[in-house]
Structure 1
Amino acid sequence: MALQPSLQKGLVIAGKYDAPHTLEVFLDYVCPFSAKISLAIDSVLRPLFAPGGKYDGKVKVIFRNQVQPWHGSSTFVHEAGIAVARIAPEDFWKFSLALFKRQGEYFDIPTSTLTPVQIRENLAKLVAETIGADKAAQFGDLLTLKSTPNGGVAVTDDLKYTIKYSRQNGIHVSPTVLWDGLIANEVSSSWGEKEWTEFLTKKVTV
């Protein structure tokens, strides 16, 4: 498991950072199946890995940004998630859930007539609604284009890191789940409490 320091606090969305087992979940904010599995992560997995949960201290969950470039807005929504991870890591998962619930607003057709600036402005409004208006200004600063013609924004390097990580591990579809570094093909976005409980019973060895 690897995670660059600037993203460690935000992208570890459940469990303790030093937990021996690692569940990595590659999700795209505009993928319906990613949205579906996010509900199970929130309702089933996070309680199990939280303080006092059955697997407290044994498993951590890492959110892996999986940009799917055939969706025009995918880059922008993942920039937004990374920006929140930077300015308010404790609220990253809260914002991610809100974005998954509103993902239809960022699908291809709804965003087809919007400029990148307008999409980022809409995301800033979601930040204000979700984690507080006081965070929106910081968020906007991170997503403001640099003065150089092709320099990107303040979180572009973090976005590159997440994309390179996916590429070097051969991740193509979302969601994809890794258990201790290996792809767990059996995991499905349709899994509920029963399937996840059976999976963890087999996999957790500490």
Structure 2
Amino acid sequence: MALPPSLRPLIIAGTSDAPHTLDIFLDYVCPFSAKLALAIDNVLVPALGPGGKYHGKVKAIFRPQVQPWHASSTLVHEAGLAVARAAPESFWAFSLALFKRQGEYFDIPTSTCTPLQIREKLTALAEETIPVPSSAAGKFADLLLLKSSPNGGTAVTDDLKYTIKFSRQNGIHVSPTVMWDGLIANEISSSWGEKEWSDFLLAKVVV
């Protein structure tokens, strides 16, 4: 599937020209998404990366899946997209860090926080994740500043709109959801480990 240039860092495993595509819709504040993200890092990233069995054959794309019934979902996904622009090479590392600490952004912990306070907390996480010395952390914070117009959003609002529209046009309603070559693969579960992923790829890809 195609990606705008600013969102190329969302290819978290494999090469951009790989013929097969896994579109993986994840929400940073969804526990099942976090579980799948760890499996992706442990199983898919090595399998699709250099030296992996499926390198050059399959790419995995992280598709941000904002779920607005969680008030912080929009804010955490803005942060992920800001890292994709400010420090593309750190996008997946930041995403994993956010998944591991997602409980800090659940409904009750954030219920007494303003959006600005949540963004400040996310900026601190980005500063921990992006290698130092780096000017990218400052750029990240700038990308999350509200524009001067009363309802103008931030510098990553257009990227956020793209990800939401992409989910809507593909009928994606919940996270995690995975598409294989453009079709929803309902059999894929957040509980999958190395065996299930290996069996799936073996059946789908000619090596």
Runs of 5+ consecutive residues of structure 2 not aligned to the other structure: none
TM-score of the pair, normalised by structure 1: 0.98
Query: How many angstroms apart in 1 are the aligned matches of 2:141 and 2:193?
Result: 36
What residue is the counterpart of 2:181 in the other structure?
180
Query: How many angstroms apart in 1 are the aligned matches of 2:85 and 2:61?
Result: 15
Report the alpha carbon displacement of residue 132 of structure 1 after superposing the two structures with TM.
3.8
CA contact (8 A) 2:78 2:160 kept: yes
Compare 78-87 and 127-136 and name the one that shifted more. 127-136
Query: How many angstroms apart in 1 are the aligned matches of 2:55 and 2:206?
Result: 13
- 1:92-148 Cα distance to aligned partner (Å, 9 max, x none): 000000000000000000000000000000000000111146332111100000000
* Residue type at the aligned position of 1:74: S
Counterparts of 1:30-41 in structure 2, within 5 Å, are: 30-41=29-40
Report the alpha carbon displacement of residue 205 of structure 1 after superposing the two structures with TM.
3.1
SS in 2 for 1:150: coil
What residue is the counterpart of 1:190 in the other structure?
191
SS in 1 for 2:98: helix
What residue is the counterpart of 2:148 in the other structure?
147
What residue is the counterpart of 2:2 in the other structure?
2
What residue is the counterpart of 2:47 in the other structure?
48
Counterparts of 1:126-141 in structure 2, within 5 Å, are: 126-132=125-131, 134=134, 135-141=136-142
CA contact (8 A) 2:21 2:60 kept: yes
What residue is the counterpart of 2:169 in the other structure?
168
CA contact (8 A) 2:86 2:137 kept: no
Counterparts of 1:45-124 in structure 2, within 5 Å, are: 45-124=44-123
SS in 2 for 1:30: coil
SS in 1 for 2:97: helix
TM-score of the pair, normalised by structure 2: 0.97
CA contact (8 A) 2:25 2:65 kept: yes
Query: How many angstroms apart in 1 are the aligned matches of 2:169 and 2:54?
Result: 30
Percentage identity across paired residues of the two chains: 76
Query: Which contiguous aligned blocks of 4+ residues in structure 1 show a shift greater than 4 angstroms?
Result: none
- 1:33-84 Cα distance to aligned partner (Å, 9 max, x none): 0000001100001101111110110000000000000000000000000000
* Residue type at the aligned position of 1:84: V
Query: How many angstroms apart in 1 are the aligned matches of 2:131 and 2:92?
Result: 14
Query: How many angstroms apart in 2 are the aligned matches of 1:64 and 1:24?
Result: 6
Query: How many angstroms apart in 1 are the aligned matches of 2:53 and 2:85?
Result: 30
What residue is the counterpart of 2:206 in the other structure?
205
Query: How many angstroms apart in 2 are the aligned matches of 1:14 and 1:136?
Result: 23
Compare 15-24 and 126-135 and name the one that shifted more. 126-135
Cα root mean square deviation, aligned = 0.9
SS in 1 for 2:12: strand
Query: How many angstroms apart in 1 are the aligned matches of 2:35 and 2:86?
Result: 26
* Residue type at the aligned position of 1:129: E
Aligned residues: 205
